[in-house]
Amino acid sequence: MTRAVLALGSNMGDRMATLQGAVDHLMAGEGAPRPVAVSPVYETAPVGGPEQGAFLNAVLVVDTDGEPIDLLRRAQAAERAFGRVREVRWGPRTLDVDVIAFGEVRDDDPDLTLPHPRAHLRAFVLRPWLDADPGAELPGHGPVADALAAVVAADTAGEQDLHRRDDLRLRLLEGSDG
């Protein structure tokens, strides 16, 4: 089994229902990864791209016996199931599911670069990941806690402010131990 990390985000429609649906979709069916933990939900301003609404973000930690490409295909299927259309880079979206890390795998494949090439720069990935797995390490970058501290220190303009939404909570499927 390999530990993998998925980042979830939504800024269109019923954002919370979409995130919950994505968790359920990712964990269902043959070959599904085993859920380990899901982070609290955070509300964040969009980073880059056109003017758009705030995101809800979370991180899902899973164990899988599949390959990285299998997890990417599962993530893309979840995006399609929730109406994801890729028209504008970093534009608004019903659902975004990124494979952030897959064990210690480091790969520059243009279809799935591992770890995610910008994960170490994004508080909306690092903060929820740290909540879900306090001892996490980002391959090639070290402890997630250190990467988050660096991002926070560098963000003097407050562009990566996060607001934890304790009124929103994702659940893992029945029978999981997360």
CA 35/CA 178 separation, integer angstroms: 6
Among 84, 122, 127, 131, the one annotated catalytic: 84
Among 98, 122, 127, 131, the one annotated catalytic: 98
Q: 15 an active-site residue?
A: no
Dihedral of CA atoms 25, 30, 36, 38 in degrees, nearest 10, equals 0
Q: Is the CB of residue 172 less than 8 Å from the CB of residue 38?
A: yes
Residue 43 is which amino acid?
E
Q: 98 an active-site residue?
A: yes
Q: 93 an active-site residue?
A: yes
Q: 84 an active-site residue?
A: yes
Among 14, 34, 80, 93, the one annotated catalytic: 93
Compute CA distances 82 → 66, 70, 71, 108, whole Å.
Answer: 23, 19, 17, 28
Among 96, 122, 127, 131, the one annotated catalytic: 96
Give catalytic residue positions: 84, 93, 96, 98
